[in-house]
Amino acid sequence: MSFGLSRRTPQDLQGWGLDREDLPQWENATLDPRLLFADPNRRFELEIGSGKGTFLVQQAAMQTDTNFLGIEWAGEFQRYAADRARRHTLNNVRVLRDDGSEFLTHRCADHTVDVIHLYFTDPWPKKRHHKRRLVQHSTLQHMHRVLKLSGQVHLVTDHAELWEWYELHVEAAANLFDRGPFVTPQSAGDEEVVGTNFERKYRREGRSFNAMTLTRVDNLEKSDAS
């Protein structure tokens, strides 16, 4: 399947499209992703599983004072999303080809992220593949680690069984996050939850959605006191 990038190379996307092999400070959770931008002091948000970049492009155009890093493993999607940011001259967007779970666990430095967006991630429906789901007990711990004080995680899925998985894991991580109603992004249109390509496709198919927002618990003694 082609998305119009047959003549676009990674070199053409320099400044928007990044590959994990090209980044410095790669190991031991020392990479500060804010330094990928001209102004690293801006608010910083991370989307894991950016696909073709619909959310990134929409939201970055509305939040021009925020830097957005999208992570996408599929090279063709990553290049497509980076090219969209390039064509819109969105200098507050970067798209990194990487595994989102590995980025959280092994690369991203502590307390660098304001918001993590997880929209319609792969449900890996077969039981033997559940270990590949992005939300795990360990990754929730790393999300807590990389988030700033009172940082948030936004979760949306159309997959009922994955939603049950989210609920169980979030309940088990009550000492790390407070669960609340979903905070709809500015870029979502009327009656939209997020406004991604997946959501628009699934709405045409009549699917329903579940969503929640997690807020980082800054006092880890909360659960001991309750």
pLDDT in tens, 111-162: 999 999 999 999 999 999 999 999 999 999 999 999 999 999 999 999 999 9
Residue 67, SS3?
strand
- The structure's pTM equals 0.87
pLDDT in tens, 59-73: 999 999 999 999 999
Domain residue ranges in the chain:
10-225
What is the C-alpha to C-alpha distance for residues 140 and 165, in angstroms, rounded to an integer?
Answer: 13
Contact 129, 121 (CB under 8 A): no
Residue type, 148: K
**How far is the CA of 47 from the CAs of 8, 13, 99, 168, 196, in angstroms?**
23, 19, 12, 22, 12
Q: Which of 122, 158, 190, 224 is catalytic?
A: 122
Please indicate whether residue 114 is annotated as part of the active site.
no
Could you count the other beta carbons within 10 Å of the beta carbon of residue 151?
23
What is the C-alpha to C-alpha distance for residues 70 and 45, in angstroms, rounded to an integer?
Answer: 9
Indicate if the pLDDT at residue 225 is higher than 50.
no
> Edge-to-edge strand order for the sheet containing 43-48?
17-19, 93-97, 66-71, 43-48, 113-119, 147-157, 210-216, 177-180
**How far is the CA of 48 from the CAs of 11, 45, 153, 167, in angstroms?**
23, 10, 11, 19
What is the C-alpha to C-alpha distance for residues 83 and 89, in angstroms, rounded to an integer?
Answer: 9
Backbone angles phi, psi at 69, to 5 degrees: -110, 120
Is the sign of the CA dihedral 49, 118, 92, 88 positive or negative? positive
pLDDT in tens, 164-218: 999 999 999 999 999 999 988 877 776 777 767 777 777 777 788 899 999 999 8
Which fold would CATH assign to domain 10-225?
A: Rossmann fold (3.40.50)
Distance, first Cα to last Cα, the chain: 52
Residue 213, SS3?
strand
pLDDT in tens, 9-42: 444 445 799 998 877 655 677 889 999 998 999 9
